[in-house]
Structure 1
């Protein structure tokens, strides 16, 4: 399987107001080069692709033009293999190095970074869990440069995450009907993972190729920001799932039950990338477009003390976001390999640190994105510049990652030792 690598206009069908995708176009002529991977090599290969993404992000959002070519190129560069062991075909990078790469992708285009989240989360599970179900099969798909998406969310699911998608037996197979929402990265993916409920109430988790008959991906995500994350509806109509595509439930609870910590760290890394891009755009605007206000003592905005102060604050916010995210990545990597009570204690502390990093990253990104407008006058608000997207992107991502809960949980941990919830938000 390979991911979509053609512009949106060449996809299966286009409907006014939404795009319906029944499968990716064939790009079987593209094969990843068989060469040893290194972190430095992946970063070097990704650099020109990220530059193109950065240059086109504003216009693509206006045109609702997905970056299929660039995402395919990033996948072929091996980005999802950054943290996979060298012996298993990866670059052997640390979790810090993987997270730093995510920040750089988000700096170029935060929608692309978020769309790649499931692929990075899948790779992180492979890297950190020797007991992962279907691990060898998933590793092979990663080496083939396949991309992943998945969600359990339903718009009818309620606060408790009720599963309304159904699974019924048909011989040795299962047949799935239902809809999932927030299918982040779904239009780019080769594989989709989700769950459905059987007649006896059992929840089946499974992964299927996106071109499986009856599976349709809709481009109907309509948020104020992160508009090109491909986070809309995935519809299942009589989708057949084989027995070997079912992910078995674990026999025992993991020693570290905070399995969602890296997923939360990833969202914080996206925020850090948004803050960095706000800094980049503020600097570029002052250097090339800004003019001092009438009563400024400076003849150039570069010399205006208040512009300098504002850019300095934006830069400090971006640095703070990056620093806390990378520090949390180091802490989270330290949980790997631990067992028993030691793993539980380390996992709880790491989950709290990730939550705290998320708070700082979100608030830093929102502040940096708002401060961009203080380095110029009325013309900096021109829609053609698209600077408003930084705040919209940060705000939308923050709503998927609510910081009030993170702050309260962190406070309870520090005050009384109360462990964080084991839900996906920690």
Structure 2
């Protein structure tokens, strides 16, 4: 499946001046701190973060990229991902749960203003979207079982999706499907507050267990006439964007692990006879472990933000008429997100594992749930296989081959 740029001339206004980053951080820090306070309890008791996502909606966080004229903050992509890392450090589940939402906001932001305005107004008012793209089971690569059929007053949608991250919390579902009348791949934006929509919290992964990921079933659900969009006109840097959210999750997991282990080291009174003979918080070897992990977390964040700058350039070129510049910007954004993915995954996994060297066996207590940082990082790092991204980067470096922008998973014939 490839993404062809068949968009009409873009009528969206030029990007405005984003707000000050310091002001944004000060605005949302209290919300993130409040979210972090309950993260351990939610993990222990498997409490889905409905209330916490409500706080983010009320604070305007989910409208960060929405233009000010529609009730948002008009933040840049670098600012979005900087704040998303902060949120992921508070709770990686919630950051990933908003992945589909921010992607749909981005798509409607890139679309001609006449097409995107009604959606931007909804998102500016606090409505959020979830994700319905991946199909499981016997579906072959390149096939989509979910179908959208025209009706007298719109469309109906039937099908089943898995990995529906964030959908259980959402007002809308960003759904990939095929039109029955034309065979065209489309995006159907489906309202969740209607009959014919079933959302299951049946994700069984060992990490990221509170993202609301699971199965979504569509049984004759209604889709408005203005809510079926040609997939060919989807924003071009979408794969880079989706990966950047996972990169932010990885950077956040690393930062959270450093925070939590630092607190455990600070409190620790028991030491080893063959240690330095000082209290643990002053043990030079223990401090070295924590310091190295902190540097790894810093580097994961820096790589993610550098890739976000490339995505911001792709957004800016999408608002102009220079096709060559837009092509180059989209290649650069995809390459940068893959580079950040490999770096963030490696550093986050090392950080969340190596930090246990600063503690002892008591750190494995289930009550502390320090293992959740590794489990969450390992799960986020598994979404888009690293081995394929490494090959794509190598092929680009050696042969100048363009990266793959859109892909699917499914059964391979033979």
Matched with 2:365 is 382
Give, in whole Å, the separation in 2 of the partners of 1:192 and 1:290: 50
Matched with 1:407 is 390
Give, in whole Å, the separation in 2 of the partners of 1:90 and 1:240: 28
Task: Pick one of 212, 224, 228 that aligns with 2:206.
Answer: 224
Matched with 2:305 is 326
Distance 1:330 1:211, change over 3 A: same
Secondary structure of 2:194's counterpart equals coil
Deviation, 1:383, is 0.7
Give, in whole Å, the separation in 1 of the partners of 2:236 and 2:30: 39
Give, in whole Å, the separation in 2 of the partners of 1:322 and 1:37: 21
Matched with 2:9 is none
Deviation, 1:82, is 2.2
Task: Pick one of 42, 59, 72 that aligns with 1:90.
Answer: 72
**Alpha-carbon displacement from aligned partner over 1:290-331 (angstroms, at most 9, x marks no partner):** 632221123201121210111011101101101111111112
Matched with 2:325 is 342
Deviation, 1:157, is 6.0
Secondary structure of 2:174's counterpart equals strand
Task: Pick one of 270, 277, 282 that aligns with 1:291.
Answer: 270
Give, in whole Å, the separation in 1 of the partners of 2:186 and 2:168: 23
Matched with 1:136 is 117
Matched with 2:30 is 48
The 4+ residue runs of structure 1 with deviation greater than 6 A are none
Matched with 2:176 is 195
Task: Pick one of 178, 199, 205 that aligns with 2:159.
Answer: 178
Matched with 1:210 is 192
Give, in whole Å, the separation in 1 of the partners of 2:151 and 2:67: 40
**Alpha-carbon displacement from aligned partner over 1:22-57 (angstroms, at most 9, x marks no partner):** xxxxxxxxxxxxxx9875554334322222222221
Deviation, 1:373, is 1.1
Task: Pick one of 241, 264, 269 that aligns with 2:248.
Answer: 269
Give the 5 Å matches for 1:299-310.
Answer: 299-310=278-289
Matched with 2:6 is none
**Alpha-carbon displacement from aligned partner over 1:188-211 (angstroms, at most 9, x marks no partner):** 111112133344533342112111
Return 5+ residue gaps in structure 2 as ranges. 1-17, 409-414
Deviation, 1:123, is 2.6
Judge conservation of contact 2:268–2:281 (CA < 8 Å) in 1. no
How does the TM-score come out when normalised to structure 1? Answer: 0.85
Judge conservation of contact 2:70–2:121 (CA < 8 Å) in 1. no
Structure with bigger RCO (C-alpha 8 Å, 6+ apart)? 2
Q: Are residues 1:396 and 2:396 paired?
A: no
Judge conservation of contact 1:100–1:326 (CA < 8 Å) in 2. yes
Distance 1:317 1:58, change over 3 A: same
How does the TM-score come out when normalised to structure 2? Answer: 0.87
Q: Are residues 1:237 and 2:216 paired?
A: no
Moved more, 323-332 or 235-244: 235-244
Give, in whole Å, the separation in 1 of the partners of 2:277 and 2:142: 57
Secondary structure of 1:206's counterpart equals strand
Give, in whole Å, the separation in 1 of the partners of 2:336 and 2:140: 25
Moved more, 335-344 or 85-94: 85-94
Judge conservation of contact 1:281–1:372 (CA < 8 Å) in 2. no
Judge conservation of contact 2:206–2:379 (CA < 8 Å) in 1. yes
Judge conservation of contact 1:156–1:164 (CA < 8 Å) in 2. no
Return 5+ residue gaps in structure 1 as ranges. 1-35
Give, in whole Å, the separation in 1 of the partners of 2:111 and 2:147: 31
Matched with 1:70 is 52
Distance 1:294 1:318, change over 3 A: same
Judge conservation of contact 1:148–1:190 (CA < 8 Å) in 2. yes
Q: Are residues 1:352 and 2:335 paired?
A: yes
Give, in whole Å, the separation in 2 of the partners of 1:153 and 1:132: 29
Q: Are residues 1:365 and 2:344 paired?
A: no
Moved more, 381-390 or 197-206: 197-206
**Alpha-carbon displacement from aligned partner over 1:91-138 (angstroms, at most 9, x marks no partner):** 2322111111000000000001000112222233344x1427830111
Judge conservation of contact 2:185–2:231 (CA < 8 Å) in 1. no
Kindly tell me the number of residue pairs found equivalent between the two proteins.
Answer: 386
